[in-house]
Amino acid sequence: MSKTQFRWISFSGRTLAAVALMMTGGFLLHAQTAETTGGSAVEGVSAQEPIFHLQPIATDGETNPSDEVYSSSLSSSGLSEPDVPSTQLALNTENPFHFFNAMQYGGGRQRYGRPKYRGGNTNADGSPKYDFYVGGGFAPPVGDQFNYATLSWGFGGGGGRMFNAHVGVNLEFNYDHFGMTGDTLTAQQNLYNYSIALYNEQNPANPVQFIQGLDGNSHIWSLSLQPIYNLKSGEGMGAYVTGGGGYYHKVANFQVPAIGTYCDPFYGCYQYTANQTIDHYTSNAFGLNVGGGVTYKFSRFSNQRLYAEVRYVYLLNSFRPGVTYATVTPENAGDPNFFPQNSQRTSYLPVKFGIRF
């Protein structure tokens, strides 16, 4: 045998071996494909427990495990395999989670808990634990106060603890400033001048100048404990009621214009006109208030709310008798209390606008 014939036989043997090996692999692959496309296709897929599996359904769209007909959204899109009439992909929600399936298919079912937004400043119902507010406005006097005082300006604010979205309690400060009516100032000036005239009669060598241009004002500041109940405090419009009590300090001042002199080391001395207080009265009392307001919240994600409220305030002053222009006589003209109205029971209606946090 020549070397050429030996090489040809060796090459042919290797070629036949490679062909035989390829045919054997093709046969095994065909057998596995045939097994998958047969009646055990569903069992084969569910045995691997993937995230999606084939689910038999009836031709009318209802599930029927005994039927051999399958349908799928894949077939409707032209992607169904020729060996299977149709297939359907369904979520494997019946099988439990397995680590190997998750590694192969990217994870199984995931459960997401309820989001928690509660922090250290939040109640169990999600509402803020603390309440802060500030505002300003005016207060018309009512009752006996209406007889001598005029419309006021004022401001106030407070803060405290909210136990839930509805119930809370605040510590509050308020200041309300009232003017005096013209009739009150005229009567008060005449009362002072009457007393001065009596004094000048008794002391002709050292007469006192009569008063002109009398002015006056009254103010009330308070520190109170204020329970609050929110009727509605969601997004948009809301409402609340409040009421409480505390300490009220009431002051009345009477001034006259006076000329003063001020000396500056660089510009020298010059005169100026300013009110000088000539009489001053105070009254401390326990007071009560009750009222309510409306709020406007910009969004559900914001705690800031605009508010407008009105209250009725009543002070339990202890009346101290004194002298008025209608009751003054030479005998009682020396009484030190020339304004007993300051110690009368006091009531007014503060109206305030502001912002709550």
pTM across the whole model: 0.65
* In-domain check, residue 213: yes
Q: Token match 């045995």: residue?
A: 47
Are 155 and 248 in a shared domain? yes
* Concatenated DSSP letters of 117-136: ---TTB-TTS-BSEEEEEEE
Of 71, 105, 139, the residue at which a domain comes to its end is 105
Are 158 and 271 in a shared domain? yes
Tens of pLDDT along the chain (357 residues) come to 554 444 444 545 555 555 555 555 555 545 454 444 444 444 444 444 444 444 454 444 444 444 444 444 434 444 444 444 444 444 444 455 454 454 444 444 544 444 445 568 889 988 889 999 999 999 999 999 999 999 989 999 999 999 999 999 999 999 999 999 999 999 999 999 999 999 999 999 999 999 999 999 999 999 999 999 999 766 789 999 999 999 999 999 999 998 888 887 887 887 878 889 999 999 999 999 999 999 998 887 777 899 999 999 999 999 999 999 999 999 999 999 999 999 999 999 999 999 998
Which helix H or strand E contains 4, and what residues bound it?
Answer: helix 3-36
| Burial (0-12, 13-18, 19+ Cβ within 10 Å), 153 | middle
Side chain identity at residue 156, one-letter code: G
* In-domain check, residue 188: yes
Contacts of residue 227, defined as CB under 8 A and 6 or more positions apart, other chains included, come to 167, 168, 169, 170, 242, 243, 244
The range of the structural domain enclosing residue 326 comes to 130-356
Count structural domains, the chain.
2
* In-domain check, residue 117: no
The CATH number assigned to the domain holding 170 equals 2.40.160.20
**CA quadruple 345, 349, 353, 355: dihedral, nearest 10:** 50
Q: How many CB atoms are closer than 10 A to CB 330?
A: 11
* In-domain check, residue 332: yes
* Tokens describing residue 78: 């032209």
* Tokens describing residue 183: 């009739």
Contact indicator for 227, 168 with CB cutoff of 8 Å: yes
Are 214 and 173 in a shared domain? yes
